[in-house]
Amino acid sequence: MSDLYKPPLFEIRGVTFAYPGRPPSLEEVSFTVRKGERVALLGANGSGKTTLLLLLDGLYFPQGGRIDFEGNPIEAHSLEDGEAVRHFRRRVGLLFQNPDAQLFSPSVREELLFAPRQLGLPSEEAEERVETVLNLMEISDLRDRPPQSLSTGEKKRVALASLLTAGPSVLLLDEPTAGLDPRSQSRLLDILEQLHGAGLTLITATHELLLLPHLADRAVVLSPGHRLLAEAPADEVLSDLALLDRANLIHIHSHRHGDVLHRHPHLHWAGHHHEEP
Partner 1 sequence: MLALSRLWTHLEDPPPSGLFALADRAGPASLVATVLMAILVVAFARTPFLLGVLLVVPLGGLLASGGGRGRPAALVAASALFSLIVAFPALFAWISPGQALVPPGGPTQGKTPPWAVTDTGVYLAARLAMRSTASVAWVALMGHLLPFGKILKGLAAWRVPSLLLALLSMGHRYLQVLSQCAQEMHLARLSRSLAGGDLREEQAWVGAGLGSLYRRTRRLAEEVTLAMVSRGCTAEAPQLVGVSPVEPKAFFLPAVAAGVGLFLLWLERQ
Confirm if 219 and 232 have CB atoms less than 8 A apart: yes
Q: Which is nearer to partner 1, 80 or 276 (CB)?
A: 80
Is 84 among the residues that bind partner 1 (CB under 8 A)? no
Is 75 among the residues that bind partner 1 (CB under 8 A)? no
Is 98 among the residues that bind partner 1 (CB under 8 A)? yes
Is 105 among the residues that bind partner 1 (CB under 8 A)? yes
Nearest distance, CB of residue 163 and partner 1, angstroms = 7
**Which 242-261 positions form the footprint of partner 1 (CB under 8 A)?**
none
**Which 202-231 positions form the footprint of partner 1 (CB under 8 A)?**
none
Task: Give the binding range for partner 1 (CB under 8 A) out of 105-113, 195-203, 221-229, 245-253.
Answer: 105-113
Q: Which is nearer to partner 1, 43 or 147 (CB)?
A: 147
Is 96 among the residues that bind partner 1 (CB under 8 A)? yes
Is 16 among the residues that bind partner 1 (CB under 8 A)? no
Which residue of 90, 157, 196, 214 would you call a contact of partner 1, by CB under 8 A? 90
Q: What does the binding site for partner 1 look like in residue numbers (CB under 8 A)?
A: 54, 57, 59, 82, 85-86, 89-90, 93-94, 96, 98, 100-107, 110, 113-115, 117-119, 144-149, 162-163, 166
